[in-house]
Structure formats: structure tokens, C-alpha cells
Amino acid sequence: MNALGIFLTIAVFYLFSKLYEKKRAFYLNPVMLSIIAIASILHLTGISYETYMESAKILSFFLGPAVVSLAIPLYKQREIIKEYSKQIFAGIVFGGTLAILSAFYAAKLLGGSESVLLSIAPKSITTAIAIGVSEKIGGIPALTAVLVILTGIFGNAIGIEMLNAFKIKDRVARGLAMGVTSHGLGTARIILDDELSGAVSGLAMALNGVFTSLILPYLLKLLQ
């Protein structure tokens, strides 16, 4: 059953994308529904996650070239990004710090264990950077990976709807907030709506990953 995982992923995503095209409601987000549906199918049929991943991992492999490809919208929107570079950098410092502090303190207030606090702090940055940061600060890298993906799913499913609900119209502000909050999954969604927002989001994701990996170890020393 070599093709099982890739067939299942593409087929389920195709069906939910068709549904989403008909009725554009946030709760019909095809990424979120596909994950739930596939997890349920595996659970009901007893197929192991490892069997599924044997071929499904080919799809995630293409995240590598996809992230490299974000250079293209960045280049095409270079004039606007240069014009607003100060606001973009200020936004990354503000949003990147807020993402860490709000996650750390909210988890602490709600009774999270020490390892949960440390694992959740880097949850707004792209998976590969977050895992490395988590390891460095004493979190559980596997738990961090899960929390990063869950944060990304929120952004992909309801990020745009929330920005609309709060009447945020500025395209640079929308893209920056999505990239800083929900990394690649947020970028993947907002770039389908608007190329400028998507370019800013991709840039914010990259820079916030670098920013967070640099400041988080020092920030935690101050917090503890």
C-alpha cells in the first residue's frame, strides 16, 4: 500500500476544497477538515500513522521548496516592502514578543506544567526553528511541533475572518499579523487572498523565526 497516504491526503483535500469553493465558510476550512477526516479514517480502519506517512510525507517534503519560493512574492512586492520597512520591523518585534509572552503567561495562569510553558513559548514560529528553540530552552520538541501546527491551523482557518471582524483593512498590517502569529500555514492562506499581504506574511514568518530564536532564551531568563 505504497500510495495510500498520498492518495488519501490528496483525495480528501480535493473533496473539501470543492466544498469550500461552493460555500466559503471558515468552519469549512479544507486543511482543518482534511486533518480531522484523515485522523478519523486512520482511527476507524486501524491503519497506523506510520503506514499513512510512508507516502504522505512526500507532500510535506515540498514545504522546503515552497518556503524558498516565497522569495518570488517578496521580490515582486519589494517597492512596498521597502517603503514600509520600519513599520514591518517594528511589527515583528512587537508581535514576536507578544506571541511569546501571551502564550507563556496564559499557560501559567491556567495551571500549565513547567514543560508545557517552555514548549508553548515558541509556538508562533515555523516548525523547524521552533523545534530547535524548544530543545535549547528545555521544552519538549515534539509537543512544540504539535502546538506550532495547531497555532497554524487556527490562522489558516479563522485568521482572515478575525482580521475582517476587527475591521483591519491595511494590507501590510494584515499580512504582518498573519505571518507573525501563524507562520507558514497563515501565509499559505492569506497569499491566496492578496499577493502583497502574502509577501509581507512570508517575510514576517522568516524574520520572526530568526527574532524569536535569538531573544527567547534571554527573555525566559528574565521571566523565571
Partner 1 sequence: MYKGLTIIFGFLFIGEILSEVFNLPIPGNVIGMILLTFALLFNVIKLEDVEREAEFFIRNMSVMFIPPGVGVISYWGLIKSQAVPIFGALIISFALTLILTAKFVELLRGGER
| Unique residue bearing C-alpha cell 491556567 | 110
Nearest to 32 by CA among 155, 194, 216, 203: 155
Of 21 and 170, nearer to partner 1 (C-beta) is 170
Backbone angles phi, psi at 110, to 5 degrees: -90, 10
Binding-site member from 11, 25, 78, 138 for partner 1 (CB under 8 A): 78
Of 19 and 98, nearer to partner 1 (C-beta) is 98
Considering only residues 46-75, where is the footprint of partner 1 by CB under 8 A?
49, 52-53, 56-57, 59-60, 62-75
85 binds partner 1 (CB under 8 A): no
Burial 97-134 (b: 16+ CB within 10 A, else e): bebbeebbeebeeeebeeebbbbbbbbbbbbebbbbbb
190 binds partner 1 (CB under 8 A): no
Q: Which letter does DSSP use for residue 3 in this model?
A: T
Q: Write each residue from 121 to 160 as x if it is in contact with partner 1 (CB under 8 A), else as -, in one continuous string.
A: --xx-xxxx--xx--x---x-xx-xxx-xxxxxxxx--x-
Of 124 and 220, nearer to partner 1 (C-beta) is 124
